[in-house]
Structure 1
Amino acid sequence: MQTYLVGGAVRDTLLNRRVVERDYVVVGATVEEMLAKGYTQVGKDFPVFLHPKTADEYALARTERKSGKGYTGFICNASPTVTLEEDLKRRDLTVNAIAQHPDGTLIDPYGGQQDIANKVLRHVSEAFSEDPLRVFRVARFATRYHYLQFTIAPETIALMQQMAQSGELKALSPERVWQETKRSLLENSPAVFVEVLRDIHGLNDWFGELITSQASLNDAIEALTHTHTDKESSTPYKIKTPEQLLCIRFSALCSGLSAPQTRALCQRLRVPNSVSDVAQLVSQHKDTLLSEALFKADTLLTLFNQADAWRRPERFDLVLAAMTPLAQINHVAWPARNALIVECLEAANRVNPQEIIARGVKGPEIRTALNKAKYENIAAVISNTNINAL
């Protein structure tokens, strides 16, 4: 029984990146032996265990044979006779197929170190094509390591194109595709994810709305290129959480889509409501937010009502933040326009419903009087603003 550190921990150490998690492969052991040593089995399809003290993942060395469609159609062999080299051969990329002996020695039968030196993402073997999820994984790795100037090997690009054309990508679950999309959108260069899928014709099955027109695709790529975090961003809203950044990035992905198209994409990928709500609001109102019609009190009041800016101010803030890259690609000076919207919303929020009720207004007339007072406050702000400067 021998244990080796494998995968991302080895790869990122060689790239001088922070190691987030450590995974191990165990050669020459059985399930019974792992359980006897106190490990907890967590893998249903594959023999994966958690270390009793560190909770790191330990998987028995295994080989896999394709038995059906998708990423779950495999027959697994995890007998003690499976060698380390056989286990590494089933992995996706050579840079992920490097193991480290406890004494620090690297075992690299498929040239992963050379590919790291050459900054190349290359598939280990033709077995790569048996798992369609790898198309999205490679796109994600290309996105993550774009800043290091990594590229995908031509033969791997060709194989990914074949996989996309085979229709196998349809067999994936929405949850798995969304997870790869989400992780890619949170990387520093999210546009690369879309560009890779475009180049291998991998957008058709899951992101069909993006290729309904060249403009839709171009807008998505350009808007994602303009998404930045915190200090780099021209939005006044500081991005504090990954979910906030994801909302902005996914809205950028949908920047060239209509509201129905954005809704369809969200439903297909089963995007969480917190993210899809922002993207759909951006798609619904972006034309108004970028047009001269915005400088009318009734337009802004309708926007605030439809976006429920009164009860969901944090979400509305994200909508405005997500407009920053869209404004940039449409050559609209957003900061000043954004400031006006915020000032108008604050003015409208100063209307006190209790004061209206105290005047004797009752029933449905309360809402009418409330909207009228909000309209007047918004109009007062606009009248004191130099619209020509916006």
Structure 2
Amino acid sequence: MQVYKVGGAVRDRLLGLPVTDVDRVVVGASTEEMLAKGFRPVGADFPVFLHPKTGEEYALARTERKSGRGYGGFTFYASPEVTLEEDLIRRDLTINAMAEDDQLNLTDPYHGQRDLEARILRHVSPAFAEDPLRVLRVARFAARYAGLGFTVADETMDLMRQLSESGELQALTAERSWKEISRALMEDHPQVFIQVLRDCGALRELMPEVDALFGVPQPETHHPEIDTGLHTLSVLEQSALLKQPLTVRWACLLHDLGKGLTPEEEWPRHIAHEHTGLELIKAVNERFKVPKDCQELALLVGQYHTHGHRALELKASTLLELLQSFDIYRRPQRFEEFIAACEMDARGRKGLEQRSYPQADYLRGAAKAAREVAVQPLLELGFKGSELGEALKRERLKALKAYKEAATA
């Protein structure tokens, strides 16, 4: 029985990066032997065990065979006869197909270390094309390691194109897709994830609404980069540079979907794109069963981001409606995330990445002015029920008028 560290733990150690997750594979052992040593079984699809003292995962070396469509369409076989090399060949990329023992002796049958040094993401074997999830995984690794200069090997990109054209991506579950998408969006270069998916044709299959933005022009006076798809990538890039949470990054990706519906004869203007995009945002949210907080913010940013940009021009009554839409009294954080998404949108323009965004502080001040309107004096005056709501609204509007007058004087 031999135990090896495999996958990301080996890869990141060789790259000089922090090692967070450690996967271990056990060669030469049976399920019975693992149980006899006190390991606890947890794997339903293949033999994975928890160490009796540390609780860390240990998986028996295994082979796999394609038996159906999609990520789950595989039959696994584990036995003491399965070699380390046989276990490693079923992995996705050469840089993930290395193993090391406790003395840091490296087993690298598929030249992962060479590809690490060459900064190449390359598939291990033709079996790569049997698992559609690997298209998303490779794009995610491209986003993670873009800052180190990694690119996808041409032959691997060819296999990803084949998978995209095969219809296999449609067999992915919403849960598995969202897990990869959400992890990729939180990488340092999420825009690379979207670009790689587009380059291999997967974006058209998974998010045609986003793919449709490429080649759609916008007015050069507001958008020097012109292309809506490139703008979306830039907005995502800014959201990562400024360490925004997943909710904001997801909203940044979807905020301009309505522009993909604008008839060509109306280009480069996109009248009412905020409203035409809402159904598209809903469709993408539902397709991937996106968490509620991400869904809600994406819809609100899609609908109101131009309000954010025009904040200093808005009438007090429109400003109040905006604040009410976000329920700033009970959910102040959501409005803060909206402001962040608007700022990322403004920064995601060629040559304007460092321009200040005074709308942010203006909107925060407006929210503060509205929140500071006290309810108690109105209760003491006898207002209650719907009358109290109307009175509160009048007082908040009065406060916003005073705020706007002072702030824009």
Partner residue in 2 for 1:381:
403
Partner residue in 2 for 1:82:
82
| Partner Cα separation in structure 1 for residue 55 and residue 343 of structure 2 | 42
Residue 167, structure 1, aligned to residue 189, structure 2 = no
| Partner Cα separation in structure 1 for residue 121 and residue 399 of structure 2 | 58
| Partner Cα separation in structure 1 for residue 114 and residue 348 of structure 2 | 39
Are the structure 2 counterparts of residues 293 and 211 from structure 1 closer, same or farther at C-alpha, using a change threshold of 3 Å? farther
Amino acid at match of 1:10: V
Q: Secondary structure at the match of 1:76?
A: strand
Partner residue in 2 for 1:355:
377
TM-score for both structures, normalised by structure 1 = 0.92
| Partner Cα separation in structure 1 for residue 388 and residue 299 of structure 2 | 30
Amino acid at match of 1:281: L
Partner residue in 1 for 2:357:
335
Residue 271, structure 1, aligned to residue 283, structure 2 = no
Are the structure 2 counterparts of residues 246 and 381 from structure 1 closer, same or farther at C-alpha, using a change threshold of 3 Å? same
Partner residue in 2 for 1:14:
14
Q: Aligned match of 2:390 in 340, 348, 368? A: 368
Matching of residues 305-320 of structure 1 within 5 Å: 305-320=324-339
CA RMSD of aligned residues (A): 1.8
What CA deviation, in whole Å up to 9, does each residue of 1:64-115 have, x standing for no partner?
1101001111111112111111111111000011111233211111111110
Partner residue in 2 for 1:196:
196
Partner residue in 1 for 2:39:
39
Q: Is the 8 A contact 1:259 1:283 kept in 2?
A: yes
| Partner Cα separation in structure 2 for residue 175 and residue 81 of structure 1 | 34
Are the structure 2 counterparts of residues 293 and 347 from structure 1 closer, same or farther at C-alpha, using a change threshold of 3 Å? closer
Q: Secondary structure at the match of 1:204?
A: helix
Matching of residues 170-185 of structure 1 within 5 Å: 170-185=170-185
Residue 155, structure 1, aligned to residue 174, structure 2 = no
Residue 62, structure 1, aligned to residue 81, structure 2 = no
Q: Aligned match of 2:314 in 276, 289, 295? A: 295
Q: Is the 8 A contact 2:312 2:359 kept in 1?
A: no
Q: Aligned match of 2:305 in 269, 279, 286? A: 286
Partner residue in 2 for 1:236:
none
**Bigger shift: residues 3-12 or 287-296:** 287-296
Q: Secondary structure at the match of 1:116?
A: helix
- In the TM superposition, residue 375 of structure 1 has moved relative to its aligned partner by 0.7
Are the structure 2 counterparts of residues 102 and 385 from structure 1 closer, same or farther at C-alpha, using a change threshold of 3 Å? closer
Q: Is the 8 A contact 1:252 1:326 kept in 2?
A: yes
Are the structure 2 counterparts of residues 36 and 294 from structure 1 closer, same or farther at C-alpha, using a change threshold of 3 Å? farther
- In the TM superposition, residue 177 of structure 1 has moved relative to its aligned partner by 0.8
Q: Aligned match of 2:238 in 221, 226, 230? A: 226
| Partner Cα separation in structure 2 for residue 10 and residue 102 of structure 1 | 11
Partner residue in 2 for 1:255:
255
Are the structure 2 counterparts of residues 363 and 274 from structure 1 closer, same or farther at C-alpha, using a change threshold of 3 Å? closer
**Bigger shift: residues 291-300 or 131-140:** 291-300
Matching of residues 125-164 of structure 1 within 5 Å: 125-164=125-164
- In the TM superposition, residue 338 of structure 1 has moved relative to its aligned partner by 1.4
| Partner Cα separation in structure 1 for residue 325 and residue 390 of structure 2 | 16
Residue 322, structure 1, aligned to residue 341, structure 2 = yes
TM-score for both structures, normalised by structure 2 = 0.88
Q: Secondary structure at the match of 1:335?
A: coil
- In the TM superposition, residue 290 of structure 1 has moved relative to its aligned partner by 1.6
Q: Is the 8 A contact 1:64 1:77 kept in 2?
A: yes
| Partner Cα separation in structure 2 for residue 22 and residue 180 of structure 1 | 19
- In the TM superposition, residue 386 of structure 1 has moved relative to its aligned partner by 2.8
Q: Tell me the number of residue pairs that the alignment of Structure 1 and Structure 2 aligns.
A: 375
- In the TM superposition, residue 208 of structure 1 has moved relative to its aligned partner by 1.8
What CA deviation, in whole Å up to 9, does each residue of 1:43-64 have, x standing for no partner?
1001111111222221111111
Query: Which stretches in structure 1 are left out of the alignment for 5+ residues?
Result: 234-238
- In the TM superposition, residue 144 of structure 1 has moved relative to its aligned partner by 0.6
Are the structure 2 counterparts of residues 363 and 83 from structure 1 closer, same or farther at C-alpha, using a change threshold of 3 Å? closer
| Partner Cα separation in structure 2 for residue 98 and residue 131 of structure 1 | 20
| Partner Cα separation in structure 2 for residue 76 and residue 82 of structure 1 | 11
Q: Is the 8 A contact 1:327 1:334 kept in 2?
A: no
| Partner Cα separation in structure 2 for residue 200 and residue 294 of structure 1 | 43
| Partner Cα separation in structure 2 for residue 69 and residue 11 of structure 1 | 29
| Partner Cα separation in structure 1 for residue 205 and residue 158 of structure 2 | 18
Q: Is the 8 A contact 2:312 2:362 kept in 1?
A: no
- In the TM superposition, residue 293 of structure 1 has moved relative to its aligned partner by 7.5
Q: Is the 8 A contact 1:247 1:322 kept in 2?
A: no
Amino acid at match of 1:185: L
